[in-house]
Amino acid sequence: MLNVQDLHKAFGQQVIFDGASLQMNAGDRYALMGPNGAGKSTLFRILRGTDTPDDGVISYPRGLKVGYLPQETADIGDGTVIEETLAAFHGDADPATAERRGAEAKKILMGLGFRVSDFDRAATALSGGWRMRIAIARLLLEDPDLLLLDEPTNHLDLDSLLWFQNKLLESKSTLLLISHDRAFVNAIAHGILDLRERKLNKYPGDYENFLAAREREEEQRLEAYKRQQREIADAQEFINRFRAQAAKAPQVQSRIKWIEKQVLIEIPPEIRKVKINFPQPEKPGVRVLSLQGIHKAYGDVKVYEGLDFELERGQKVALVGPNGAGKSTLLKILAGVLPFEKGERVLGLNVKAGYFSQHRWESLRPDRTVLQEAMDTRRMNPDLLVRTILGTFLFRDNAVFKQVAVLSGGEKSRLALAKLLLDPPNLLLLDEPTTHLDMSSVEALVDALRDFPGTLVFISHDLYFVNALATHVAHVDKGRARLYAGNHDDFLRQAAYAFSSSPADDTSPPKSPGQKGTEVSWVKGSAEDLRRLREAEKERSKRRKKINQKIRSLEEEIADLNGDLSSVFIQSDYKKLMELDQALKGREAELAEARAALAKEA
């Protein structure tokens, strides 16, 4: 399907690829990983043909159809939403085909969160995130042979992300994606393609298998490096000791030549990991925040009519629900940054709220340096504390003197989060905090927020982030906020159980006497229920691990068989060639079955 051999690429003195190779078969799905600046976007440009390598061979079938989704901007015209989605098919001559494709386009748009009333809206009137959804819909409709997706989940909410995930699992397209979303990668990818030290290395299985395999490799490499250094040191010591002795001249020359022939093992530079240490906030009372009878509307569109909502100390609540249900509105009301028409917002004793929005970094002053912006948060903070917090977000050494104007979106997002932590709140409200972070930064943020002693309310499309942090899930829909105990996986199971066990003629929960308007409904799973759910999850994880091991073994066998086929073909041993071909087909069928089994366990 796609074969890259001995790829070389440099920009001036900066070498991006030095003999990188890659082979992908039809239907393969791999996640491209690597440090920032390693060359992931460059590889995408080369595969698309918009950039050329300095050397190397890239081969794929004639007429291969390539689809590409950029990370930030999409080429969307000035037509309506439905017209732009169907832009590639305006030449359809067959009315039946056009009608069928139009129906499929609408189905895809609705899966991505559009309403029927949005179809005839001008695409130019939409935000950048919604235009990116049109670009995703267009790609899904075009169904290319090879899909290159650069952070495709950045502009999706959790519901549309899960729909998109299932759509990709149904697709037969070969897929190469860049994503910081661990759960999405684990659900979609057959393996990890690691771009590091100017080479490409394949790791079958999920992200956890990749980390374990790479750790083993690094340990083995370190041992080999130490062994080589000891041997070189021993040889050099012999040379220095006996260089002047004629009787030892042959041995000395032999060791000199041995050292000269050694290919030195290099140790990769240590990857700096973000470690975030929250300053300890003041301890609040048990009741942190209460919303009572909240009414909120945008013009004629009523979002909440009589909403009651309470937060208690130590809760970590994920807001989930359909797009447009009011998650961001609720978060802003909780944060106190959005006015409402009626009701009351009551902060508890000693509560200090800190709010991070998707666009908070837009308030940063571009003419300032990183350090100046951070120092402006709390003028009483000592310089050492400010630099320490900035250091946890990778603004180290001279990086603190960079101007905000030249920072990337991810750097600005990290700076905005750092500013929030320099004025430590005990109530954190975060709207999509992971969008501009890489996977290692997301993991560090998860670790820090797990230890955060305050209360946390957040919106995130990153399922790994949600499941790792949430003690409760608030499902926001139709003006209501139903609170479930546990993380997102627990929420899905409890919601499914509640739906299946509720009477068909009464799908709404019973109201308590005197209850008015919209109110938080608790669905409390017992400790035993949650224990059983988590035990089932552990069993599922074991099954995934076993399947991944089988996939890794089969892929190694297939690689060996392909090598044997090449040798036998050169020898013209056609009987052996037929035997190997049959064996290869059998292993490929087993691999397809294993991948299908893994998809069912996603």
Return the H-helix or E-strand segment holding 82.
Answer: helix 81-85
pTM of the entire predicted model: 0.70
% of the chain at pLDDT higher than 90: 33
Contacts with 111 (C-beta within 8 Å, 6 or more apart), sequence order: 160, 163, 164, 167
CB 214 within 8 A of CB 271: no
Whether the predicted pLDDT of 317 surpasses 70: yes
How many angstroms separate the CA atoms of 258 and 251, rounded?
Answer: 10
pLDDT tens digits along 61-93: 888 899 999 887 777 888 899 999 998 887 666
Residue with tokens 């627990």: 490
CB 343 within 8 A of CB 292: yes
Whether the predicted pLDDT of 204 surpasses 80: yes
Q: What's CA 85's distance to the chain center, in Å? A: 25
pLDDT tens digits along 556-599: 777 777 666 656 555 555 567 677 767 777 777 787 777 777 76
Whether the predicted pLDDT of 9 surpasses 50: yes
Range from 40-54, 354-368, 489-503, 540-554 that averages highest in pLDDT? 40-54
Range from 268-282, 393-407, 473-487 that averages highest in pLDDT? 473-487
Residue with tokens 């799905």: 29
CB 317 within 8 A of CB 452: no
Residue with tokens 């609720």: 330
Exposed e or buried b per residue across 410-425, where buried means at least 16 C-beta atoms within 10 angstroms of its C-beta: bbbbbbbbbbbbbebb
pLDDT value for 553? 81
One-character DSSP codes across 193-244? EEEETTEEEEEES-HHHHHHHHHHHHHHHHHHHHHHHHHHHHHHHHHHHHTT
Q: What share of the chain is helix, strand, coil (3-state, %, to 5)?
A: 45, 20, 30
